[in-house]
Amino acid sequence: MSVQRKYFGTDGIRGRTGVPPITAEFALKLGWAVGKILAQDGRGTVLIGKDTRISGYMLSAALEAGLIASGLDVFLLGPMPTPGVSYLTRSVGAQVGVVVSASHNPYYDNGIKFFSAEGKKLPDAIECNIENLLDSPMTMVEAHNIGRAKFMEDAAGRYIEFCKSTFLKPHDLKGIKVVIDCANGATYHIAPHVFTELGADVIVIHHQPDGFNINENCGSTHPASLQKAVLQHQAEIGIAFDGDGDRVIFVDHKGEVVDGDELLFVIARSYHDRQILNGGVVGTQMSNLGLEKAFNDLKIPFMRSQVGDRYVMDALAQTGWQLGGEGSGHIICLDKTTTGDGIVCALQVLTALCHSNKTLHELKKGMTKCAQILLNVPVSNGAEIVTDSRVQLVLQQLEKDLQNNGRILLRASGTEPLVRVMVEGNDKAIIRQAAEEIAEIVEKVAKKVT
């Protein structure tokens, strides 16, 4: 059972910029509290990276001041994918890594998340300790113990070389035309170098961030322009990252989107064929039923966690397995790195292509997806609405109607003010009707509650 927290959600602290807690004042004290909790003997090093949204400058500067006031030295990474901060934190021996990002959200949102010295997300207990300290008066260290700050000049180069090292040798990408969509986010100056230096013929789109266009009609959440570019340039594949680079989706040579469930299947089957799959695979409650069936056919163990990469990671730790992920494209390859990494995941998919000598379109056919309807209902108190007896009554009746021909998942989002409705089954018309009925009762109850 997760610990109830005031500020931290499933992926750090996130919200609308300028609205508490996403303010400069809060970030200042948060940096100080993190330093007090995580500094070793009152000293240590912290890395700060960010994505490309305009508010990142304000929040990273405030965090920097708070961390320095606690006695920590700060390395500034500038724009850096979230998994790049994770890698650099553990590779340079820092006490903590900080990422200023709201991932796939619009530019007006932002967030703050942390990595431990091992490059992993902080445990609930440490996040609770940080929150408790936020209620205490902020006091800085003596002047001679104040931390220092400097820019890490070779941060991008280090991360690029690490990503390249995860691609299976002796293969290379020569002769493969790839379109890369950087979502105007943190991968804009990283991903093109990785794939070009591995030999691919690279065409890059959405790689000119201006602080406001991150994730705007581009990236992993909006693949239409990537589909068009793949067909226009007759590319073998298209790769789209989200704003902070921890998610990835593909487009095959026919212009069809290949989502995270399908990518997870392609990687897992390649691992299985090469006899390097350690145990089984972790998905989530949202993973397509077709993924589970495909793994059953291959006799690959499969289990579902709660939704969120934090819970996928927990399940991997409990089982000792190495591979897991979500349909959104947040895929974790623990044999390569310690967190979800869009670029590393993409390279494992390309390794599967090179090893099998098949197209992505061919490889994804090993899994037949069930029809799935996803609806997002805007609400401010999702957890309360989901458990409401009126909503549960409708849910139970619809589950009874579906019997063994489908499944329903209703949950409050951990990162946005939404209730997510997912209905899955063989008949698209039936599951759409069920999803719309659930969304309707959620909206009605939400209006009455507010």
pLDDT band at 43 (very low <50, low <70, confident <90, very high): confident
Pairwise CA distance, residues 272 & 332, whole Å: 16
Residue 11's pLDDT is 84
Encode pLDDT of 46-75 as tens digits. 999 999 999 999 999 999 999 999 999 999
Q: What are the angstrom distances between the C-alpha of 82 and each of 12, 88, 131, 150?
A: 12, 10, 22, 19
Query: Between 7 and 9, where is the model more confident?
Result: 7
User: What is the structure's pLDDT at 66?
Assistant: 97
Q: How far apart are CA 66 and CA 194, in angstroms?
A: 34
User: Domain 13-152 carries which CATH code?
Assistant: 3.40.120.10
pLDDT of residue 1: 40
The CATH architecture that domain 371-449 belongs to is 2-Layer Sandwich (3.30)
Degrees (nearest 5) of the Cα angle 38, 44, 50? 75
The reply to whether domains 13-152 and 159-366 share a CATH topology is: yes
- The answer to whether residue 115 scores a pLDDT higher than 90 is yes
The Cα 219–Cα 213 span in angstroms is: 11
Place of tokens 């590319």: 235
pLDDT at 171: 82
Distance between CA atoms of residues 334 and 244, nearest Å:
19
Does pLDDT of 449 surpass 80? no
The DSSP-derived string for 20-64 is TTSSHHHHHHHHHHHHHHH-BTTB-EEEEEE-S-TTHHHHHHHHH
From the candidates 55, 101, 103, 220, which is the catalytic residue?
Answer: 103
| Predicted pLDDT at 343 | 98
Q: What is the pLDDT of residues 349-404, one digit of tens each?
A: 999 999 999 999 999 999 999 998 999 999 988 889 999 999 999 999 998 888 77
312-347: per-residue pLDDT in tens?
A: 999 999 999 999 999 999 999 999 999 999 999 999
Instruction: Give backbone dihedrals phi and psi of 31, rounded to 5 degrees, phi first.
Output: -60, -45
Q: What is the pLDDT of residues 134-149, one digit of tens each?
A: 989 999 999 999 999 9
Segment 199-245, tens digit of pLDDT: 999 999 999 999 999 999 999 999 999 999 999 999 999 999 999 99
**Dihedrals phi, psi of 119, to nearest 5 degrees:** 80, 20
- Report the alpha-carbon distance of residue 342 to residue 187 in Å, rounded: 9
Q: What integer best gives the mean pLDDT of the chain?
A: 94
With bands split at pLDDT 50, 70 and 90, how would you rate the model's confidence at 169? confident
- What share of the chain in percent tops pLDDT 90? 86
pLDDT value, residue 3: 54
Q: What is the pLDDT of residue 209?
A: 98
Residue 415: its pLDDT value, please? Answer: 72
103 as an active site residue: the answer is: yes
CATH fold for the domain made of 159-366: Alpha-D-Glucose-1,6-Bisphosphate; Chain A, domain 3 (3.40.120)
Q: Once rounded to an integer, what is the mean pLDDT over residues 154-179?
A: 94
Axis crossing angle, helix 342-356 with helix 82-91, rounded to the nearest 10: 100
For the chain, which residues make up each domain, given as ranges?
A: 13-152, 159-366, 371-449
pLDDT tens digits along 267-315: 999 999 999 999 999 999 989 989 999 999 999 999 999 988 889 999 9
Q: Is there a contact between 248 and 187 (Cβ–Cβ < 8 Å)?
A: no
Q: Which helix H or strand E contains 157, and what residues bound it?
A: helix 155-165
Task: Count other C-beta atoms under 10 Å from residue 258's C-beta.
Answer: 24
Query: What is the distance between the alpha carbons of residues 230 and 219, in angstroms, rounded to a whole number?
Result: 14
Share of the chain above pLDDT 70, in %: 98
Does the pTM surpass 0.75? The reply is yes
Beta-sheet strand order (sheet of 323-325): 302-305, 281-284, 323-325, 331-333
Say if residue 41's pLDDT is above 70. no
- The most distant pair of C-alpha atoms in the chain lies apart, rounded to whole Å, by 70
pLDDT the model gives residue 4: 63
**Which amino acid, one-letter code, is at 13?**
I
